[in-house]
Structure 1
Amino acid sequence: MFSAKTPTENESIRLKKAPKKFITNRTREKLDGWLFIAPFVISALVFLIGPLIVAFILSFKEYALLDRTSFLSAKNVGFDNYLRVFKDPIFLKSLKNTFIYSLCAVPLQLVIALLLAMVVDSKIKAKTFFRVAYYIPTLTSAVAVSLIFLFLFKVDGLFNKFISIFGIVPKNWFTEPKFALGAIVLMAVWSSVGVYMIIFLSGLQEIPQTLYEAAEIDGANKLQRFFKITLPLIKPTFFFNLVVSVIGTLQMFDQSYIISGGNGGPLDSTMTMVLYLYNKAFKESEMGYASAIAFVIFAILFTLTIIEKKIFKEEEAN
């Protein structure tokens, strides 16, 4: 007599007959993850890692931008390009200009930004208006800002008319070697201080108000509260702004290019490292030498960032 199979037996037979999965759920999850990040990986390889590798290879070669041959078959010069960088008087002048610019611009940017952040974080009316007003210059393009300052600082411009009230002789600030770089510093500070203000503001708003209230009860004045509470607690924010500001100033290009017409004048007084790199690469078509300059600039930025980080860590440890 035929005996009916139980449901459990039927299901086990079905499972045995069912085809095996070639891709497990875990493997599918991994594939989905790789598919999601594939656009970023491909774009990074094509537009970041690939060009870096090519530039590094070019830094050891003598190669012109318009050469018909491949850069791989270009003449190898070893470390000659790097040795040439430190013997090049114009590059050394651009290095000096860039560091002077950075030493002037960075403290002004950070001090003014911190003061503005404290103002808009205090109990004043129309705080939103002032935050927007201080931040708007950062949204203006470098070309527009440069044209505005060229108009303001020309001989018959508004700035000269203002200082003439105090008996100061009008000058064409952007065409005199003594003053051109200083005028660019003022322009850069005005156009970028809003970014650092917003970052400082976020750091200030993280400080608990109870600390200020307790310090006020203990008799601490505003100056003491600033140095004992505000500065120590915004140290990470200050470090971030410092690193970003130093990197930004050492990479300054657009203002100098527009103000000087691309030649770093007058008398190379506004020539910066990145502007010199650009001129060597795209005006003089020395791609190998320009690549060496680029990696020297990277080494300088990397070294300064490590030094800044070490200094801040030592201060925190103390």
Structure 2
Amino acid sequence: MKKPRNKFFQKNKFDQAMTGYLFLLPALVALLVFLIGPIFYAFYISFFRFSFLEPQNAKFIGFSNYIHLFQDKEFLRALWNTSLYTIVVVPIQTAIALFLALIVNNIRGKTFFRVAYYLPTVTSTVAVSVMFTFIFQPDGILNKFLENFGIHGPNYFNSPTFALPAIMMMAIWSSVGQFMIIYLAGLQDIPEEVYEAAELDGARGFRLLWHVTLPLLKRTTFLNVVMSMIGTFQVFDQAYVISGGNGGPLNSTLTVVLDIFRKGFKTMQMGYASAMAFVLFAIILIFTLIQNYFLGREDK
């Protein structure tokens, strides 16, 4: 009598599993068709001289696209701009996010400040770019403010010196709220008993922050730094809107993703653009693994 019951339950379990897989099937198909498939196809055409206008004339050239990348002055300039952008934006963005989270975590009206600081993050990047264009115009708000001190500000977005720093300021302002929310969640996850024990041992003020809060926020900081680094290496919208899509003036705002867009959709060098995309992927992956290695070593 027990065997039929076992068979019944086994059949019922199999039916439930198949039902679950059927529910997952549309998402899996969409993932395969719109994400995984294009990734493998892009890697494939990165070894070809390829254009979507003439796919039948694709020519296999091996690693030539990858080799040419490091001889391409535009790509090297874009890589330098993107690296500089990352080096400046990531630490400043992380520090400001932590500072704001510490303040918001210890004042009344947390909900209001969360919304106020997070609002720029959900605002359209194009809208933010247009707003900062008005701020940094020759007769914009910033220059009018500087005139009160006898300073005549430049035309920021038309200056090779000031265009990229202006985009950095815009990026920090528009995305710092996202990382502040993550830090705030990390702060609220620290047990009060830890602070009470530290205070009994004589820790106060900055020592409490340095020896208790920051070590317990290490993994939160790692998450924020990795997310920020990935976002800065992929910067596109701000540079495109500010420069009109050409990376000017004098390629001072040309980023790697903007250069990929130009090569792939303006000059139709899709094979070359795919090679650029995979080099960018490799750079982001290497930096992420390095950070993960140091974090893991500290934990050990």
TM-score bin (small chain): over 0.9
Is 1:50 the counterpart of 2:34? The answer is no
What is the distance in 1 between the residues matched to 2:296 and 2:86?
Answer: 22
1:81 to 44, 53, 65: 65
Question: Is 2:79 aligned against 1:92?
Answer: no
Provide the rounded CA distance (Å) in 2 between the counterparts of 1:209 and 1:25.
48
Match of 1:204 among 187, 193, 201: 187
- Given the alignment, which residue of 227, 231, 236 partners 1:248? 231
1:24 is paired with a residue whose SS is helix
Matched, 1:314 2:297: yes
Separation of aligned partners in 2, 1:28 and 1:212: 52
1:28-53 superposed Cα distances (whole Å, 9 cap, x missing partner): 22321220211121011100111011
User: What displacement does 1:68 show?
Assistant: 5.3
Task: Give percent identity, aligned residues only.
Answer: 52
- Distance, in Å, in 1 between the alignment partners of 2:24 and 2:11 is 20
Letter of the 2:14 counterpart: T
Q: How many residues align?
A: 295
* Residue 119 (structure 1) aligns with: 103
Stretch moving more, 23-32 or 194-203:
23-32
Q: Separation in 1 of the partners of 2:59 and 2:108?
A: 66
Alpha-carbon separation, structure 2, partners of 1:139 and 1:211: 34
3-state SS of the aligned residue for 2:156?
Answer: coil
Equivalent position of 1:41 in the other structure: 28
Which residue is 1:109 aligned to?
93
Give runs of aligned pairs for residues 124-139 of structure 1, distance below 5 A.
124-139=107-122
Q: Give the aligned residue type for 1:252.
A: V
TM-score w.r.t. length of structure 2 = 0.94
Q: For 2:38, give the aligned amino acid.
A: P
Alignment of 1:216-235 (within 5 A): 216-235=199-218
Q: Which moved more, 1:108-117 or 1:26-35?
A: 26-35
Distance 2:285 2:292 in 1: 11
Q: Aligned partners of 1:157, 1:93: CA distance in 2, in Å?
A: 29
Q: In the alignment, does 2:50 pair up with 1:63?
A: yes
Of residues 261, 266, 277 in structure 2, which corresponds to 1:283?
266
1:29 aligned partner:
16
Are residues 225 and 68 of structure 1, via their aligned partners in 2, closer, same or farther at CA, if it must alter by over 3 Å?
closer
Give deviations 1:100-134, integer Å, cap 9, x for gaps: 00001001110000000011100x23222212111
SS at match of 1:81: helix
| Residue 272 (str. 1) matches residue 255 (str. 2) | yes
Asked whether the equivalents of residues 65 and 281 of structure 1 are also in contact (C-alpha less than 8 Å), the reply is no
One-letter identity of the residue aligned with 1:111: A
* Pairing of 1:147-186 with structure 2 (within 5 A): 147-186=130-169
TM-score (norm 1): 0.89
Contact 1:65 1:282 in 2 (8 A): no
Extract unaligned runs of 5+ from structure 1. 1-7, 9-14
Do the aligned partners of 1:58 and 1:291 also contact (CA within 8 Å) in 2? yes
Which residue number in structure 2 is paired with residue 12 of structure 1? none
Q: Is the 8 A contact 1:203 1:237 kept in 2?
A: yes
Give 1 or 2 for the bigger CA radius of gyration: 1
Instruction: Give the Å deviation of 1:212.
Output: 1.7
* Offset, 1:221: 2.0
Secondary structure class of the residue paired with 1:174: helix
